Amino acid sequence: MLYNSMEERRNKIMEEFNVKDKVYVNALSEKFGVTMETIRRDLDALSTENKIKKIFGGAIKVKSMRFEFAYNERAKYNLEEKQRIAATAIALIEDNDTVALLGGSTTELFLQHLLTKKGLFVVTNSLPLSFDLLKCKKEGTFDGRLVVIGGEAGSASMSTSGFFAENMLMKISVNKAFISCAGFSPLSVSTLMEEHIQLSRILIEQSELRILVADSAKMNVSHLYHFANLSDFDIVVCDQNMPTDWISETNAERLQWIIAK
């Protein structure tokens, strides 16, 4: 569809966010009948006006990047991508593994997949995941063991954190740790919540295999609370390929990048 003016096209781009969490450069180029470079300039201009936040391959609306989501809203954001990531990541878990799942909207989608594994030892600070696993254990659909990391409970994150959680986690070693984030790039993996910084760092230290689970909307997004570099992880599970310009900034031979289909 063609639009007569740059202003009209940019207004129409903003209208896309009324029904979508994010927009993609290639889709907008095809829809508006202009080059991808033109769309990139449009997104640059809208970003300068603080109306959107540019991400890898597209953009998200600024209001979606506010400091702290309400729990239910955050859980619905990019849900389809997170579901694909959870379904793909579970293939990394084997029967009888000791697995840590740091609370987050992606890791909490692991539940139905965890039930397909036998003899798991699950460590988590997620309150919803803990409750659901206990319910499944009572019903006989989960035969593993569950360790809930104690500490101060947060309503925004629906998870525990703080001194007691950190002290407890330091006494536990796991085979595989699944950690989510609010933004990532080769030199920064960051979170919106200060209380999750130390828990994430401890888990990276205490795990044999460190796995970052993050959807592409978080690519090249940086938040105040940095807790790791991409090189601190062994595997990344994402819904898109690694950007080509990241290859030179990461240990691409060691880091395994798995695309969620």
Mean pLDDT per block of 10 residues along the chain (261 residues) reads 74 78 86 91 87 84 50 67 94 97 91 95 95 96 96 86 93 95 91 86 96 92 86 95 87 86 82
Query: What whole-number distance in Å separates Cα of residue 152 and Cα of residue 17?
Result: 36
Rounded CA separation 199/110 (Å) = 19
CATH number for the domain spanning 61: value is 1.10.10.10
Q: What is the pLDDT of residue 64?
A: 43
- 1 falls within a domain: no
Q: What is the pLDDT of residue 212?
A: 97
The answer to whether position 102 is within a domain reads yes
Name the residue range of residue 122's domain. Answer: 71-259
Q: Are residues 10 and 58 in the same domain?
A: yes
One domain, residues 48 and 161: no
Tell me: do 98 and 41 sit in the same domain.
Answer: no
Which of 25, 47, 65 is at the close of a domain? 65
The answer to whether the beta carbons of residues 210 and 179 sit under 8 Å apart is: yes
Global pTM value? 0.74
Domain endpoint, select from 44, 65, 86: 65
144, 229: one domain: yes
Residue 145 lies in a domain: yes
99 and 211 part of one domain? yes
| Pairing outcome for strands 225-228 and 188-191 | antiparallel
Runs of H (alpha helix) within the chain: 6-16, 25-32, 36-48, 71-76, 79-89, 111-114, 127-139, 163-169, 196-206
Domain total in the chain: 2
52 and 98 in a single domain? The answer is no
Sign of CA dihedral 201, 203, 205, 210: negative
| Burial class of residue 149, CB neighbours in 10 A (0-12, 13-18, 19+) | buried
Element housing 52 (H / E): strand 52-55
- Identify whether residues 226 and 105 lie together within a single domain: yes
Domain match, 36 and 111 both? no
**Beta-bridge partner residues of 207:** 174
- Whether residue 85 sits in one domain with residue 125: yes
> What pLDDT is recorded for position 252?
64
Give the pLDDT confidence score for residue 68 in this predicted structure: 44
- Specify the pairing of strand 58-61 against strand 98-101: unpaired
Please name which of 69, 43, 144 lies closest in space to residue 134, comparing C-alpha atoms.
Answer: 144
We report the CATH number of the domain holding residue 209 as 3.40.50.1360
Contacts of 151 (CB under 8 A, 6+ apart): 125, 160, 161, 162, 163, 164, 165, 166, 168
Q: What is the pLDDT of residue 217?
A: 85
Q: Which of 65, 88, 114 is the last residue of a domain?
A: 65
Name the DSSP letter for residue 169: H
